Amino acid sequence: MPRTVRDRHGHVMSETSAEALSHYEDALRELLFFRGAVATASQAVLQAAPKSVMGNVLAAYLGLLGTEEKEATAAKAAFTRFTDCVRAGRPTDRERMHLAAASSWLDGDIHRAGHVLGELTVAFPRDALALAVGHQIDFLTGDAARLRDRVGGALTAWPEDDPHYGHLLGMYAFGLEESGHYTRSEETGLAAVERNPRDVWGIHAVVHSYEMRGQFAEGIRFLDARMEDWASGNYLNVHNWWHYCLYALESGDTDRALEIYDAVLHHEESPGLAMELLDASALLWRLLLADRGAGPRWDRLADAWAARQDPPYYAFNDVHAVMAYVGADRIADAERLVEERAAWLVRARPQLSNVAMTAEVGLPVCRALIAYGQGRYGQAVDLLTPVRHRLNTFGGSHAQRDAVQKTLLEAALRAGRDDTARTLLSERISLRPVCPYNWLAQARLADRLGEAAKAAAARARAAEQAAAGAAALAR
């Protein structure tokens, strides 16, 4: 077989046959659509060309993207075996940069991996894999500016008729949303979905833009109209259903949110993946903050987290495990996780990205969640206040991290920290004036302060804002 071929964008693919290249292009397409067939296609690349540089790089990335420690460990072992053999070869500059990025991430330095992929994109802006993986790294590290600009800086190098161009628009739309350009995000995301109706990441970006602007009815109608495109058959379906649940909660329909939880977010056949369990935790935690019962769901969810026996790997996941333990009143399990992470920090290599994520944000948030669950609301406020403006550094989106921000507000209200609660509410309402949750919280504060008219006005505004979403759900 020929030792090298070129991909559709002219990049040399070392040690890759024509057959392997075909499988690689298939895998890349499936990755961009978030479909499970990416794993099969990736395996086919290496079956056809075991020494394919990009085939092995792709396999390494796939082992990392799910933030599953066991998969990452297996990927590292396979990648190490490959790199021990590839040193005698001659990968291209682009491939060497991919090798360096994958190696850095496998070694625990996700920030270094993102930096290397950024340099790669400057030199090779039409490398779709570098853009897709780099984009996910920016999401996992909570870097909104890079989430936007990594793709934005490459976009004009792509012809608009390229098969992957629509997916780049979907990525760019999410970066725009996370950096506050909500209308532009919606426009770009809709353009992405017009090109590829089953671009679930593009759909996801549009859903976020509606969430942040309080357009819950629009979001519900958008998801309802495209149900066949996103609701099953992809890695993002549970997460997009979680967004549907957020719309339902803001529209005052807790029952609908729990119906979706039971049917999709977590049930007996759920695979126990971290990326799905954290959505389940985040939804139930919002109900806990609102003093709404979730019944035995908490126990089942806590069992699922405990069964994973996760070592220290990604602080964002740890926080959601603690939510489940606290919600199930398994404080000992939550405290044990915190103690294990604290002990790990003493011996861990400082170059690991998760060290800073855990020390600076993860542990303070976990301790605050435990304090909240035990009714030590003032302590929860004291733990969360110093970290609230840097929560992004342990990853996730604004919508995901809002569970922590709401915990701070709820703790302030319950602790009688009226000045803090007033400040937090002013921030929230100024930023998101259309949000029933914000106005209901404002009403509670007004009640505490004896401001009956202000409380009534806030409740009326909340009801008015929730009505459109409730009507959309009732259709």
Residue-wise pLDDT tens digits, 12-26: 999 999 999 999 999
Tokens of 440: 């209901």
| One CATH from 1.10.260, 1.10.1660, 1.25.40, 1.20.120 for 267-415 | 1.25.40
pLDDT tens digit sequence for 360-411: 999 999 999 999 999 999 999 999 999 999 999 999 999 999 999 999 999 9
Long-range contacts of 435-441, Cβ-Cβ distance < 8 Å, separation of 24 or more: 435/214, 435/250, 435/465, 436/250, 436/251, 436/252, 436/462, 436/463, 436/465, 436/466, 437/249, 437/250, 437/406, 437/462, 438/462, 439/465, 441/409, 441/410, 441/413
Q: Which helix (H) or strand (E) holds 335?
A: helix 331-347
Residue 2 has pLDDT above 50, yes or no: no
Residue 86 has pLDDT above 80, yes or no: no
Q: Is the dihedral of CA 438, 415, 331, 408 positive or negative?
A: positive
Residue 50 has pLDDT above 60, yes or no: yes
Would you state the pLDDT for residue 88? 57
pLDDT tens digit sequence for 135-175: 999 999 999 999 999 999 999 999 999 999 999 999 999 99
Q: Where are the domains of the chain?
A: 1-136, 142-265, 267-415
Distance CA 113, CA 145 (A): 17
Radius of gyration of the chain from Cα atoms?
A: 23
Residue with tokens 């270094």: 112
Distance CA 345, CA 425 (A): 35
Residue 134 has pLDDT above 80, yes or no: yes
Would you state the pLDDT for residue 293? 87
Tokens of 105: 């991430």
Mean pLDDT over each residue of the chain, to the nearest integer: 97
Q: Let me know how long the chain is.
A: 475
> What is the mean pLDDT of the segment spanning 321-344?
98
- Ramachandran sector of residue 35 (left: φ over 0; alpha: ψ -120 to 50; beta: rest): beta
Would you state the pLDDT for residue 233? 94
Q: What is the DSSP letter of 348?
A: S
- Cβ neighbours of residue 315 closer than 8 Å, sequence gap 6 or more: 341, 354, 357, 358, 361, 362, 363, 394, 395
pLDDT tens digit sequence for 221-242: 999 999 999 999 999 999 999 9
Q: Yes or no: say if 407 and 368 are a contact pair by the CB < 8 Å rule.
A: yes
Distance CA 49, CA 56 (A): 10
pLDDT tens digit sequence for 417-426: 999 999 999 9
Residue 36 has pLDDT above 50, yes or no: yes
pLDDT tens digit sequence for 180-215: 999 999 999 999 999 999 999 999 999 999 999 999
Strands 12-14 and 4-6: antiparallel
Chain centre distance of CA 299:
24
Distance CA 226, CA 207 (A): 12
The confidence band for 475, taking pLDDT boundaries of 50, 70 and 90, is confident
| One CATH from 1.25.40.10, 3.40.50.80, 2.40.10.500, 3.40.50.2300 for 142-265 | 1.25.40.10
Would you state the pLDDT for residue 28? 98
Would you state the pLDDT for residue 1? 43
Q: By percentage, how much of the chain surpasses pLDDT 90?
A: 97
The confidence band for 3, taking pLDDT boundaries of 50, 70 and 90, is low
pLDDT tens digit sequence for 270-303: 999 999 999 999 999 999 999 998 999 999 999 9
Q: By percentage, how much of the chain surpasses pLDDT 70?
A: 99
Same fold, 142-265 and 267-415: yes
